Amino acid sequence: MGGRFITCRQPESELVFVCSDCSHVVIKPSSCNVRFCPRCNGRRFRILEQKFGSGLSCIRAPAFLSLSYPNVSELEREALDYATRAFSKLRRSKCFRAVRGGFYGLDATFNAASQTYNVHVHVVIDTPFLNRNPIYARWLKITSDKGGKTRNVHIERAFYIDRGSGRKVKWHPRLDSHAKIKVLKACSNYLIKHAVKAPDLPDASMLAQFLMACYHKRLLQGFGSMFDLPPVPRRPMICAECGGSSFTFEGYAVVLAARAERILDRPLRHYSSFSWDAG
């Protein structure tokens, strides 16, 4: 991942494609898709925004929910898997009966004082009722093996911050359509901003540990009525010469260039001229 990050969208990572119809050569930069890469995060944010935007627009009563349990000393894959399993149990409980669906994402922060990691779950839920007490009691029971007698469970009706007054404008059925769109936009940012950034860690080894823990881990997922969302439509690569969309991948440009250079450097073979008179 470190190598891909260093060469992200650089000339040494360019890919060569050849049009299957007219053999036109197209060279495209390659993205690393490492979570802390500033070059890729903007593109990933837009893709996730497009994917989950259609689902968020169907939510009738959005609310924010955040859940956490006691800190862990090591940020390993098991810590993230534990949070996923615990939330899976919670949303199948009676206290979630009024929740139609929603989206959840995993995040982790580092506590410098205790040198521990706080793994927590951010959720946007679609529910007409908000009752923290049963959710808190169930979450405490589910994560009781982690110790401690308290949990951080915060639930609040979704809102956006009005720039003029600085006050919270919470979701309400009688809000005008413009304000509702702003609330849904805040829901999208609430989820996706945690999925495309890396936590603020003091050294590179901790950051590498975090990246390995979440490697190929889906950190943003829908559930309930928002589980089966249509995939983001892919825009095919179009040939500028013939308009075709069928391409074959030939390899990295630097590798192909080095191979061509080695071939050109080979000495030419000399053959004796053929004579019709011979024989």
Of residues 206 and 276, which shows the higher confidence score?
Answer: 206
Is residue 64 domain-shared with residue 99, that is, in the same domain?
A: yes
- CA terminus-to-terminus distance, the chain: 66
269 assigned to some structural domain: no
267 assigned to some structural domain: no
Is residue 19 domain-shared with residue 66, that is, in the same domain?
A: no
Amino acid at 16: V
Of residues 257 and 69, which shows the higher confidence score?
Answer: 69
Confidence band for 271, pLDDT divided at 50, 70 and 90? low
125 assigned to some structural domain: yes
65 assigned to some structural domain: yes
Look up residue 197 and give its two tokens.
Answer: 């950034």
Q: What is the pLDDT of residue 142?
A: 95
Is residue 178 domain-shared with residue 202, that is, in the same domain?
A: yes
Is residue 163 domain-shared with residue 239, that is, in the same domain?
A: no
Q: What is the pLDDT of residues 225-244, one digit of tens each?
A: 787 776 667 788 888 888 88
Is residue 27 domain-shared with residue 87, that is, in the same domain?
A: no
Is residue 239 domain-shared with residue 213, that is, in the same domain?
A: no
Of residues 208 and 3, which shows the higher confidence score?
Answer: 208
What is the C-alpha to C-alpha distance for residues 40 and 69, in angstroms, rounded to an integer? 31
Confidence band for 64, pLDDT divided at 50, 70 and 90? very high
What is the C-alpha to C-alpha distance for residues 150 and 202, in angstroms, rounded to an integer? 28
- CB atoms < 10 A from the CB of 109, how many? 14
Question: At residue 272, does pLDDT exceed 60?
Answer: no
Is residue 213 domain-shared with residue 246, that is, in the same domain?
A: no
142 assigned to some structural domain: yes
Is residue 68 domain-shared with residue 182, that is, in the same domain?
A: yes
Question: At residue 261, does pLDDT exceed 90?
Answer: no
Confidence band for 92, pLDDT divided at 50, 70 and 90? very high
Q: What is the CATH number of the domain that holds 7?
A: 2.20.28
Q: What is the pLDDT of residue 83?
A: 92
Question: At residue 2, does pLDDT exceed 80?
Answer: no
Is residue 190 domain-shared with residue 91, that is, in the same domain?
A: yes
Pairing status of strand 15-19 against strand 152-157? unpaired
Confidence band for 268, pLDDT divided at 50, 70 and 90? low
DSSP codes joined into one string, 238-250: --TTT----EEEE
Kindly report the pTM of this predicted structure. 0.76
Task: Give the closest residue to 106 by CA, choosing from 222, 219, 227, 212.
Answer: 219
Residues spanned by the domain of 156 = 59-224
Is residue 220 domain-shared with residue 239, that is, in the same domain?
A: no
246 assigned to some structural domain: yes
Is residue 126 domain-shared with residue 254, that is, in the same domain?
A: no
Q: Please count the structural domains in the chain.
A: 2
Of residues 6 and 93, which shows the higher confidence score?
Answer: 93
Task: Give the closest residue to 92 by CA, choosing from 139, 152, 140, 147.
Answer: 139
Q: What percent of the chain has pLDDT over 70?
A: 91
Question: At residue 56, does pLDDT exceed 90?
Answer: no
Q: What is the pLDDT of residues 132-172, one digit of tens each?
A: 999 999 999 999 999 888 899 999 999 999 888 889 999 98
190 assigned to some structural domain: yes
38 assigned to some structural domain: no
